[in-house]
Chains A and B, each alone.
Chain A
Amino acid sequence: EDKVVQSPLSLVVHEGDTVTLNCSYEVTNFRSLLWYKQEKKAPTFLFMLTSSGIEKKSGRLSSILDKKELSSILNITATQTGDSAIYLCAVSSGANSKLTFGKGITLSVRP
């Protein structure tokens, strides 16, 4: 059975802090790992990672995949209150690219 585990499950930080969110996985026929941000409505796509060791960056957010360790991290630097959200990690596997999600990490950024 495919499994994705995120940690920590929740954290509270102050504006300006840097945070690191973790995701580990056990799946057969790995295709890619994806990060999403979910505020009140639809999860919005952040990154898709397929190759180990190559950092993807978008503004203050960055992410990297380690296929040897079966894990990924999502970094957010200089956090802002608008970064408060649930961050979802998902792994795509199999011929139909089925996604298996972790339970999500709830990030709260205090002013």
Chain B
Amino acid sequence: DVKVTQSSRYLVKRTGEKVFLECVQDMDHENMFWYRQDPGLGLRLIYFSYDVKMKEKGDIPEGYSVSREKKERFSLILESASTNQTSMYLCASSGDSNQPQHFGDGTRLSIL
């Protein structure tokens, strides 16, 4: 079974802090993704990566950056957290383009 692990289930941070969300997958997948999920808006893609050190902007990249130094790990960075970044963050990974994405359990992030 594919295992996608996100480092925290719940996280509370303050406005202006730099926040790191970590995601690790154990299936040697090339592709990794970060989404946020908000009521009434569904899942929206922030960034994705299809190889080590490669990254592509998704639909809502503003205020975020990412890092992929190793194949199994994909980090989402909030450079200066703001209250409108309070959300559920979901990480996913997939093998080649014909395979489904598999999700981690999510990190519920609150910015106070």
Interface residues of A (CB under 8 A from B): 31-32, 34, 36, 41-45, 48, 50, 88, 90, 92, 95-104
Within 8 Å CB of A43, what residues of B? 43, 90, 103
Cβ-defined contact, A98 with B45, below 8 A? yes
Q: How far is the CA of A88 from the CA of B43 in the complex (A)?
A: 9
Within 8 Å CB of A101, what residues of B? 35, 42-44
Given A96-B48, A101-B43, A103-B40, A48 contacting B105 (CB threshold 8 A)? no
Given A96-B56, A98-B45, A98-B48, A31 contacting B97 (CB threshold 8 A)? yes
Cβ-defined contact, B97 with A42, below 8 A? no
B58 within 8 A of partner (CB): yes
Cβ-defined contact, B45 with A92, below 8 A? no
Cβ-defined contact, B97 with A88, below 8 A? no
Task: Give the residues from 83 to 110 in chain B that come closer than 8 angstroms, CB to CB, to chain A.
Answer: 90, 94, 97-98, 100-106
The interface on chain B, measured as residues whose beta carbon lies within 8 A of the other chain's beta carbons, has a size of 25
Residue in contact with B31 in the complex, picked from A41, A50, A96, A104, CB distance below 8 Å: A96
Task: Give the residues from 15 to 45 in chain B that come closer than 8 angstroms, CB to CB, to chain A.
Answer: 31, 33, 35, 40-45
Within 8 Å CB of B100, what residues of A? 34, 45, 48
